[in-house]
Amino acid sequence: MDSIFSAIILGIIEGLTEFLPVSSTGHLILTGHLLGFTGEKAATFEVVIQLGAILAVVVLYWERFLGLLKTDPERAFSGPRGIWLLILTSIPASVVGLLAHDYIKEHLFGPQTVAWALGVGALAIFVVESRRSSERIRGLDAITPALAFGIGCFQCLALWPGFSRSAATIMGGMLLGAERKTAAEYSFVAAVPIMFAATGYDMLKNYGLFSSADLPFLAVGFGVSFIAAWIAIKGFIALLGRLTLRPFAVYRLALAAAVLIFLV
C-alpha cells in the first residue's frame, strides 16, 4: 500500500517514537503489518523516514554538532574529543549489527518478537528507575570515554526490534551514573552516527527497489517524520524534568499485551 496516506501515518509513527523509549522499529513493524505494507520495500522506506528523524536531531542540536569541528576550551564535548566519544558509543552496536544483520532481518522482524521486546524493555525500565546509581554526571560536557563506551554496549540491546535504541541508551546512561536528562540528550546526539551508518548501509543495498514514481511517497514520509521527531524531542526533554520513564514502561506493557492478543 504505497499511498500518501501510508507515508503520512508511518512518518508520524517514526518521528514520534524514534527518540522516545518505546521503539520506533517495533511500532513501524506493527503499523506496517496493519497497513499491509511489509517486505523489503517497506523496510527500505522505513530507512528513508529514519533519516528525517535524524535530521531533526541535527537541526535541534546544530550547535553541538558544529562544535565537533573545532575544540572549544569551555566545552569538553567538542572537537576531536567529542567525535571520539561518539565513535566509542557507536562501535559496539556497529560491530554486532554488522555481524548479525541478516539474522536479525530474517528472524526478529515480526509482531511476536516485537511484543516480547516491548515487554522485556518495559520491565528493564522499572528495574532501572528503582535501582539506578546516584546521578553524578550532568550535562553532555561531563560525558567520559568510559561512559560513552558503556552506553554503546547497552545500545546493542536495541538490535532486538522492539527493545528501543533510545530506551537502551538512556537506561545504560542512568545505570552508569548519568542524570536522566543528560542520558536522554546524549542518546539523541549519539543516535546520529550509528543511524546514519545503518541507514546508509540499507539504502545502498536496496535503493533499486524504488523508482522516480516513488519520490512523492518517500518525500512525504521523510518530511512528516522530521516534523514529528522535532515535536517529540522537544516535548520529551521538557517532560523529563518532571517525570520518570515509568509511564513509557506502562505503555510498552499495554502495547505488548495488545499485540500478543490481537496480532499473534
Out of 81-95, 100-114, 217-231, least confident range: 100-114
Q: Nearest Cα to 255, choosing from 178, 175, 193, 162?
A: 162
Give mean pLDDT, residues 79-83. Answer: 96
Give mean pLDDT, residues 251-263. Answer: 92
Backbone angles phi, psi at 213, to 5 degrees: -65, -20
Work out the pLDDT band at 217, boundaries 50, 70, 90. Answer: confident
Per-residue pLDDT for 203 more than 90?
A: no
Per-residue pLDDT for 256 more than 90?
A: yes
Give mean pLDDT, residues 187-197. Answer: 87
Per-residue pLDDT for 64 more than 80?
A: yes
CA dist., res. 150 & res. 14, Å (int): 26
The one-character DSSP state at 133 is P
Work out the pLDDT band at 118, boundaries 50, 70, 90. Answer: very high
Amino acid at 226: F
- CA-angle at 147, arms to 141 and 149, nearest 5°: 120
List the alpha helices (DSSP H) in 18-78. 24-35, 40-60, 62-67
CB neighbour class for 101 (10 Å; exposed up to 12, middle 13-18, buried from 19): middle
Q: Which residue has the higher pLDDT, 106 or 184?
A: 184
Give mean pLDDT, residues 92-101. Answer: 88
Give residues with Cβ within 8 angstroms of 215, minimum separation 6.
none
The one-character DSSP state at 1 is -
Out of 45-49, 139-143, 173-177, 238-242, least confident range: 238-242
Task: Give the structural domain span for 9.
Answer: 4-262
CA dist., res. 109 & res. 38, Å (int): 10
Domain count, the chain: 1
Work out the pLDDT band at 1, boundaries 50, 70, 90. Answer: very low
What's the mean per-residue pLDDT of the chain?
A: 89
Q: Are 6 and 142 in contact (CB under 8 A)?
A: no
Q: What is the pLDDT of residue 134?
A: 64
Q: Are 256 and 122 in contact (CB under 8 A)?
A: yes
Point out which residues pair with 72 in neighbouring strands.
Answer: 75
Give mean pLDDT, residues 135-164. Answer: 93
Instruction: Tell me the pTM.
Output: 0.88
- For 151-167, write each residue's pLDDT tens digit: 999 999 999 999 999 99
DSSP string across 137-158? B-SGGG--HHHHHHHHHHHGGG
Q: What is the pLDDT of residue 55?
A: 92
Give mean pLDDT, residues 231-244. Answer: 88
Q: What is the pLDDT of residue 154?
A: 97
Out of 5-14, 62-71, 131-140, least confident range: 131-140
Q: Are 171 and 124 in contact (CB under 8 A)?
A: yes
- For 47-59, write each residue's pLDDT tens digit: 889 889 999 999 9
Amino acid at 83: I
